[in-house]
Chain A
Amino acid sequence: MGKVVVVTSGKGGVGKTTSTAALGAAVAKTGKKVALVDFDVGLRNLDLIMGAERRVVFDLVNVIQGQAKLSQALIRDKRVETLFLLPASQTRDKDALTEEGVGEVIDKLRSVFDYVFCDSPAGIERGAQLAMRFADEAVIVTNPEVSSVRDSDRIIGLLDARTLRAEQGEQIAKHVLVTRYDAARASRGEMLSIDDVLEILSVPLLGIIPESQDVLRASNLGSPVTLSEPLNAAARAYLDAARRLEGEELPVIVPFERKGFLDRLLGRRAA
Chain B
Amino acid sequence: MNLLDIFKRRSSAPVARERLQVLLAYERRNRSQPDLVSILREEIMAVIAKHVQIDQDYLQVSMDRGETMSTLEIDIQIPNKSAVPMAMAG
Contacts and interface: CB of A to CB of B under 8 A. Distances in A.
A196 interface: yes
Q: How large is the interface on B (under 10, 10 to 19, 20 to 34, 35 or more residues)?
A: 10 to 19
A72 B14 CA distance: 52
Contacts, number: 40
A157 interface: yes
Nearest to B23: A150
Interface string A145-159: 110011001100100
A186 interface: yes
A48 interface: no
Interface string B1-31: 0000000001111101101110110011001
Interface in A185-200: 186, 188-193, 196, 199-200
B13 A150 contact: no
A188 to B, nearest CB: 6
Contact of B11 (A157, A189, A199): A189
B14 A189 contact: yes
Interface string A130-171: 000000000000000110011001100100000000000000
B61 to A, nearest CB: 23
Interface in A171-190: 186, 188-190
Judged by DSSP, the binding face of B is helix
A154 B28 CA distance: 8
B27 A200 contact: no
Nearest to A153: B24
B20 A190 contact: no
Given A153-B24, A153-B28, A200 B13 contact: no
A189 B12 contact: yes
B10 A149 contact: no
Interface string A190-216: 111100100110000000000000000
Contact of B24 (A145, A150, A190, A196): A150
> Looking at A186, A192, A193, which has the most chain B CB atoms within 10 Å of its CB?
A192
Contacts of A190: 10-13
B27 A191 contact: no
Contact of B28 (A157, A193, A196, A199): A157
A146 B20 contact: yes
A236 to B, nearest CB: 25
B13 A189 contact: yes
A199 B28 CA distance: 15
A200 B21 contact: yes
A192 B18 CA distance: 11
Contact of B13 (A153, A154, A157, A196): A196
13 contacts: A145-B16, A146-B16, A146-B19, A149-B20, A150-B20, A150-B24, A154-B27, A189-B12, A189-B14, A190-B12, A191-B13, A196-B13, A200-B20
Given A146-B16, A190-B12, A200-B17, 16 more contacts: A146-B20, A149-B20, A150-B20, A150-B27, A153-B24, A153-B27, A157-B31, A188-B10, A189-B10, A189-B11, A189-B12, A189-B14, A191-B13, A196-B13, A196-B16, A200-B24
